């Protein structure tokens, strides 16, 4: 594995390998000194063309906890929106000979372009409506920790599937791990032909009780102005996941940040069946695992005796 561009590139074994590695990094995260020397002296570039406190700080921290040097570049706006400009930027950054480039872009396919232009390992941190593979990996990791294997589990993804790269990556990852995936939301927000990915579509939440896991998507307010849904209130009436709809044994997930009172009601957000906090927590260890797999050689065995997990003294 040279890059992480899409969940499509990963086999079930590949996913499991990353999750096992993440589980061993979780042991490091529990130490007082949360750092290992694995990537010391190597450079990780974070190139974010969209604002993202959450994903960016998570990647930054993952790289720092592996002792890498991190250069973070945030760019918004017109000068970088054309492919040619992105190419020039990547050529510039590649001249630093970074071990990895983490890229988030509003353009579908941006990470693939970067992988073509740069010798660095490339991690897709979100490319337009296309994919967000580390989000899917941390979601599978969180679920596996909470319920074990996903084989035969029923997972419902609810909300604005149309504009969601998270939905796309998660459908692929949940399917790969053996789960049954059902999408539900307003018909205007479910892309036509999405069943080709191996999932079912429901336009109501009537059968929601069948789900083992309910994964609510973020409802973006700007969609309202585009008439995808009449009002947030009507959306919430029909599709909000709340205590009336969620059974006590169903697990609840959300990629964050949550619009409280829109896609989720306040009571379920803070309920014990919500895994939202554990998803964020998983973000750092899963990203450490991805960086480690790509940069420190996937040939290395996975386990706590691994060099990557050398005790903190090795840092001195």
CB of 57 or CB of 273, closer to a second copy: 57
Q: Is 264 in the site for a second copy (CB under 8 A)?
A: no
Spell out where 24-179 has E strands: 43-48, 69-74, 100-105, 121-127, 154-158
Backbone φ, ψ for residue 69 (5° rounding): -90, 135
Are 114 and 86 a contacting pair, CB within 8 Å?
yes
Q: Which of 48, 60, 161, 184 binds a second copy (CB under 8 A)?
A: 60
Q: Is 312 in the site for a second copy (CB under 8 A)?
A: yes
Q: Is 178 in the site for a second copy (CB under 8 A)?
A: no
Q: Is 263 in the site for a second copy (CB under 8 A)?
A: no
Count Cβ atoms below 10 Å from residue 190 Cβ, excluding itself: 21
**Closest of 268, 221, 278, 217 to residue 242, by C-alpha:** 268
Distance in angstroms (rounded) separating the CA atoms of residues 117 and 121: 11
Nearest distance in Å: CB 157, a second copy: 21
Nearest distance in Å: CB 68, a second copy: 10
Distance in angstroms (rounded) separating the CA atoms of residues 9 and 7: 5
Q: Is 277 in the site for a second copy (CB under 8 A)?
A: yes
Q: Is 184 in the site for a second copy (CB under 8 A)?
A: no
Q: Is 78 in the site for a second copy (CB under 8 A)?
A: no
Q: Is 316 in the site for a second copy (CB under 8 A)?
A: yes
Residue with tokens 């993440």: 22
Crossing angle, helix 276-295 and helix 133-147, to 10 degrees?
120
Are 100 and 93 a contacting pair, CB within 8 Å?
no
Q: Is 71 in the site for a second copy (CB under 8 A)?
A: yes
Q: Is 280 in the site for a second copy (CB under 8 A)?
A: yes
Q: Is 58 in the site for a second copy (CB under 8 A)?
A: yes
Size of the site for a second copy (CB under 8 A): 50
Are 314 and 37 a contacting pair, CB within 8 Å?
yes
Q: Which residues bind a second copy (CB under 8 A)?
A: 29, 31-35, 37, 40-43, 45, 53-54, 57-58, 60-61, 64-65, 69, 71, 73, 75, 84-85, 88-89, 91-97, 256-258, 260, 276-278, 280-281, 283-284, 312, 314-316
């Amino acid at each position: 594995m040279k890059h992480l561009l899409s969940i499509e590139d990963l086999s079930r074994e590949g996913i499991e390998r990353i999750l096992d590695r993440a589980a061993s990094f979780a042991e490091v995260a529990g130490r007082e000194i949360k750092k290992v020397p694995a990537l010391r002296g190597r450079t990780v570039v974070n190139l974010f063309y969209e604002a993202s406190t959450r994903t960016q700080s998570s990647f930054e921290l993952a790289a720092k906890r592996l002792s890498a040097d991190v250069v973070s570049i945030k760019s918004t706006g017109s000068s970088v929106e054309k492919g040619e400009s992105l190419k020039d930027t990547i050529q510039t950054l590649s001249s630093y000979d970074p071990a990895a480039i983490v890229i988030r872009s509003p353009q579908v396919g941006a990470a693939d372009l970067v992988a073509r232009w740069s010798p660095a390992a490339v991690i897709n941190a979100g490319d337009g409506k296309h994919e967000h593979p580390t989000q899917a990996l941390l979601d599978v990791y969180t679920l596996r920790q909470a319920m074990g294997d996903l084989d035969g589990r029923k997972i419902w993804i609810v909300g604005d599937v149309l504009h969601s790269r998270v939905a796309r990556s998660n459908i692929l990852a949940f399917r790969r791990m053996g789960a049954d995936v059902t999408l539900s939301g307003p018909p205007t927000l479910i892309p036509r032909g999405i069943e080709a990915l191996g999932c079912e579509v429901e336009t109501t939440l009537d059968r929601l009780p069948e789900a083992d896991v309910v994964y609510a998507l973020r409802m973006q307010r700007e969609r309202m102005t585009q008439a995808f849904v009449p009002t947030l209130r009507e959306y919430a009436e029909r599709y909000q996941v709340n205590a009336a709809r969620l059974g006590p044994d169903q697990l609840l997930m959300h990629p964050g940040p949550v619009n409280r009172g829109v896609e989720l009601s306040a009571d379920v957000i803070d309920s014990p069946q919500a895994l939202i906090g554990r998803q964020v927590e998983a973000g750092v260890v899963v990203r450490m695992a991805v960086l480690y797999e790509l940069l420190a050689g996937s040939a290395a065995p996975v386990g706590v005796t691994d060099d990557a997990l050398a005790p903190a003294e090795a840092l001195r």
